[in-house]
């Protein structure tokens, strides 16, 4: 039976969706581990192809997070030229600083897909991204901010090595694929939300 929600509950849900934005400046306070686990649990409530629940999350905090900064800086090289064409100079400079510091975010979650011949490739990776969006929304509900980053994919082999996955059985079987990272923490700014582009995005067929 489909759950019934009150008008207030529905309004709260849409407010959370509307409030989600990419945060690129964070306070240094590390969220409690139990809170991070709660948010990841929300991610794992997402639907997945054949109910494989094929997401794999690797969470870096503390020293390990700090060590990743050198890799984040390196990933910048792979996308900076594209961003320079798309962004205003001031925003480009701000984005470059973010890659060098991760905005001070104390948590980095690396999101992998466990791929299998049992499921089509694009369905497997799509399942992980649905979990990632649950994480984004749950973080907003808990007063945290996030920024989903595809840049680690630019240096995916090095990230795999950094996370120590070479000895992981699923990795050795060729089944683990890095898709993105999610930086997380308490926001230290309130950036404007980019306008939504709706033209040509939806086609109705009656």
pLDDT in tens, 122-157: 999 999 999 999 999 999 999 999 999 999 999 999
> What is the mean pLDDT of the segment spanning 98-122?
97
pLDDT over threshold 90, residue 100: yes
pLDDT of 99 reads 95
How far apart, in whole angstroms, are the C-alpha atoms of residue 155 and residue 77?
Answer: 10
pLDDT of 96 reads 92
Q: If you ran DSSP here, which 8-state letter would residue 178 be given? A: E
Range scoring the smallest mean pLDDT among 46-50, 60-64, 73-77: 73-77
Question: What is the helix (H) or strand (E) element at residue 68, kind and residue range?
Answer: helix 62-76
Domain coverage including residue 106 = 23-185
Please choose, from the candidates 43, 71, 96, the residue with its C-alpha nearest in 3D space to the C-alpha of residue 160. 71
Range scoring the smallest mean pLDDT among 46-50, 69-73, 85-89: 85-89
Give domain status of residue 203, yes or no: no
Give domain status of residue 200, yes or no: no
CATH number for the domain harbouring residue 72: 3.40.109.10
Give domain status of residue 6, yes or no: no
The number of domains in the chain is 1
Residue with tokens 């950094």: 162
pLDDT of 1 reads 79
pLDDT of 150 reads 94
How far apart, in whole angstroms, are the C-alpha atoms of residue 17 and residue 29?
Answer: 24
pLDDT in tens, 8-53: 999 999 999 999 999 999 999 999 999 999 999 999 999 999 999 9
pLDDT of 2 reads 84
Burial 17-28 (b: 16+ CB within 10 A, else e): eeebbbbbbbbe
pTM to 2 decimals? 0.95
pLDDT of 3 reads 87
Q: If you ran DSSP here, which 8-state letter would residue 192 be given? A: P
Give domain status of residue 81, yes or no: yes
Q: What distances in angstroms separate CA 38 from CA 107, 120, 188, one per listed residue?
A: 14, 29, 22
User: What percent of the chain has pLDDT above 70?
Assistant: 100
Burial 89-105 (b: 16+ CB within 10 A, else e): eeeeeebbebbeebbbb
């Amino acid at each position: 039976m489909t759950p019934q929600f009150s008008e207030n509950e529905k309004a709260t849900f849409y407010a959370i969706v509307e409030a989600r934005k990419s945060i690129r400046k964070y306070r240094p306070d590390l969220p409690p581990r139990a809170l991070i686990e709660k948010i990841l649990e929300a991610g794992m409530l997402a639907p997945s192809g054949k109910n494989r629940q094929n997401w794999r999350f690797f969470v870096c905090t503390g020293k390990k997070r700090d060590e990743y900064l050198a890799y984040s800086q390196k990933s910048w090289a792979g996308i900076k030229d594209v961003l320079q064409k798309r962004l205003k100079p001031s925003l480009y400079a701000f984005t470059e600083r973010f890659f060098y510091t991760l905005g001070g975010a104390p948590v980095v979650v690396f999101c992998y897909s466990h791929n299998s011949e049992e499921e089509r490739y694009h369905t497997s990776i799509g399942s992980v991204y649905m979990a990632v969006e649950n994480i984004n929304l749950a973080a907003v509900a808990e007063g945290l901010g996030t920024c989903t980053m595809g840049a680690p994919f630019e240096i995916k082999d090095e990230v795999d090595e950094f996370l120590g996955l070479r000895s992981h059985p699923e990795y050795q079987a060729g089944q683990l694929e890095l898709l993105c990272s999610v930086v997380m923490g308490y926001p230290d700014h309130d950036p404007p939300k980019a306008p939504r582009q709706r033209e040509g995005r939806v086609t109705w067929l009656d």
